[in-house]
């Protein structure tokens, strides 16, 4: 379930589907929500999960079950979605309210800014521990490497370590950490601080900043 609401001049997109795992339905809902945001006049977008979860990434039971026949195409579609968020025409802020694992962590990294709850949830890139035959793609690796400080990038990928809000902040993974009641207000304030600019200019600047990442995410998979 996806809930998109206007709060002042900002659109707030709330994920409320359990662990918010990426499968055909959930990704379709996200794509449709971005269509609505882009068609509107909001000056920024904030995303947030519900309860214990921001997003735990790919829905592996679905991908290895009902979605098995579309697994390659689905990963490419997810990368296209990450690329879209990366160069979205308005500022984007991820309010990481709970667990952000794997593809969920990558979704937060595609945002312009990340804030995290102090006392609940972990930021984690656990692919080194997953025996799924689904290694990180070059595009995913490029996204993570572009957003994380070099040492944090190295540690997070090679250890699969889980970082709470304070640790994630100390390692430059998020810009700040907050209590439960303060997270969303802080995310809205951060979104406003990023300013309101012509959308074409925002896209052009983001594409110039992250050209290598966008290209890697959109490159056809083998």
pTM over 0.75: yes
**Per-residue H/E/C for 149-201:** CHHHHHHHHHHCCEECHHHHHHCCCCCEEECHHHHHHHHHHHHHHCCCCCHHH
- pLDDT score, position 212: 97
- pLDDT score, position 69: 77
Q: Edge-to-edge strand order for the sheet containing 44-48? A: 2-7, 10-15, 44-48, 92-96, 113-117, 176-178
Q: pLDDT digit of tens for each residue in the chain (222 aa)?
A: 899 999 999 999 999 999 999 999 999 999 999 999 999 999 999 999 999 999 999 998 898 887 777 767 999 999 999 999 999 999 999 999 999 999 999 999 999 999 999 999 999 999 888 765 457 999 999 999 999 999 999 999 999 999 999 999 999 999 999 999 999 999 999 999 998 899 999 999 999 999 999 999 999 987
Q: Helices 71-86 and 24-39 meet at what angle, rounded to 10?
A: 30
Half-sphere exposure of residue 161: CA atoms within 13 angstroms, side-chain side = 14
- pLDDT score, position 134: 55
Superfamily of domain 2-218: 2-enoyl-CoA Hydratase; Chain A, domain 1 (3.90.226.10)
Hey, where are the domains in the chain? Answer: 2-218
Structure tokens at 104: 């969920």
- pLDDT score, position 221: 87
- pLDDT score, position 57: 95
Q: Which helix (H) or strand (E) holds 138?
A: helix 138-147
- pLDDT score, position 68: 77
């Amino acid at each position: 379930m996806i809930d998109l609401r206007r709060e002042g001049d900002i659109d707030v997109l709330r994920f409320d589907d359990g662990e918010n795992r990426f499968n055909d339905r959930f990704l379709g809902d996200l794509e449709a929500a971005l269509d609505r945001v882009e068609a509107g006049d909001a000056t920024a977008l904030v995303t947030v999960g519900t309860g214990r979860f921001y997003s735990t990434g790919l829905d592996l039971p679905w991908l290895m079950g009902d979605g098995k026949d579309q697994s390659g195409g689905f990963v490419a579609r997810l990368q296209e979605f990450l690329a879209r968020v990366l160069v979205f025409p308005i500022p984007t802020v991820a309010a990481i309210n709970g667990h952000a694992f794997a593809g969920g962590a990558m979704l937060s990294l595609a945002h312009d800014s990340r804030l995290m709850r102090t006392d609940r949830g972990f930021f984690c890139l656990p692919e080194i521990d997953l025996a799924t035959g689904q290694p990180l793609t070059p595009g995913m690796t490029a996204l993570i490497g572009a957003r994380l400080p070099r040492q944090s990038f190295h540690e997070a990928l090679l250890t699969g370590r889980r970082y709470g809000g304070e640790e994630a902040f100390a390692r430059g993974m998020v810009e700040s950490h907050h209590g439960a009641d303060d997270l969303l207000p802080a995310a809205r304030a951060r979104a406003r601080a990023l300013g309101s600019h012509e959308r074409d200019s925002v896209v052009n600047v983001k594409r110039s900043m992250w050209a290598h990442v966008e290209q890697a995410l959109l490159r056809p998979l083998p």
